Structure 1
Amino acid sequence: MKDSRIMYIERKAGNLTGEARIGRVTFSNSGKSIYYNGLRFDSLKGAGFKANYFETESGEEYWISGCKKNGSDRLYNEKNPIRIDDDIREEYWTEIRNKPELKDRTIAN
């Protein structure tokens, strides 16, 4: 494993929007695969519809991207909740969003 980074992870499962989280991912040595929560994701290489990765075991499609400072991570700015993993919550609110007063919030929007 190589670098790690806090990223936005949205399960598409054939839909335009889906369940979303913010968590720490790690990258393979080649940088072509992403690992999160025991799952491996490989690039769709531009072949996905509103998705850029697929989970290699299930084949389900995901949108995985860097977190935006303004919190508008969803493609269509929906107001559905985005869960934040406990182990990165404080870092997300202080380093990425620059809102340390929200460091105890478990939902991003």
Structure 2
Amino acid sequence: MKSELKYIELKSGYGDCGPAWIGMVTFSKSGKTVYFNGKALKSLNGMGISGNYYDIETREEYWVSGVKKDGSDRHWAGGGSIFIDKEVVDLYLSKVGFDSLDKNKYELIDILPTDKDKFTRLENERN
């Protein structure tokens, strides 16, 4: 499965200041579902209110995008620290050209694995 470094932000109930993460995601075969941190996020195909994906369990909207080369991943009106997976710090730093992480902007965490089979079963039960 294809994996990519992404910026993920919870939009539902938070506007531009929701919890945000930087980490590796994997995609479903169709590319319409992103698996990240124990969640399955399905594409809204441009139909979201403030996000471009939704959590198939909670229906909350998320914004998922590539990391920006200048490190300005949050919306200009947003704020708050960004959780970054400890395993991707070096990759992120190389993509944005930073020497180190700003401890006021980023918080190191461990990203949870995602049980893709769980979400396949969940979606098949709904259909």
Structure 2-normalised TM-score? 0.74
Divergent runs of 4+, >6 A: none
CA RMSD of aligned residues (A): 1.9
- Partner Cα separation in structure 2 for residue 41 and residue 54 of structure 1: 5
State the shift of 1:54 in Å.
0.2
2:64 aligns with 64
- Partner Cα separation in structure 1 for residue 70 and residue 101 of structure 2: 15
Partner-residue secondary structure (3-state), 1:47: coil
Larger radius of gyration: 2
- Partner Cα separation in structure 2 for residue 61 and residue 103 of structure 1: 27
Letter in 2 for 1:12: K
2:45 aligns with 45
Structure 1-normalised TM-score? 0.86
1:107 aligns with 106
| Further displaced range: 74-83 or 14-23 | 74-83
Structure 2: give runs of 5+ residues left out of the alignment.
108-127
Greater share of residues in helix? 2
State the shift of 1:77 in Å.
4.9
- Partner Cα separation in structure 2 for residue 28 and residue 50 of structure 1: 23
2:89 aligns with 89
Partner-residue secondary structure (3-state), 1:22: strand
The count of corresponding residues between Structure 1 and Structure 2 is 105
Letter in 2 for 1:39: K
Partner-residue secondary structure (3-state), 1:50: coil
Partner-residue secondary structure (3-state), 1:16: coil
State the shift of 1:8 in Å.
0.3
Q: 1:104 to 1:89 in 2, by over 3 A?
A: farther
Q: Does 1:15 align with 2:14?
A: yes
Q: 1:36 to 1:69 in 2, by over 3 A?
A: same
2:55 aligns with 55
- Partner Cα separation in structure 2 for residue 51 and residue 7 of structure 1: 14
State the shift of 1:66 in Å.
0.3
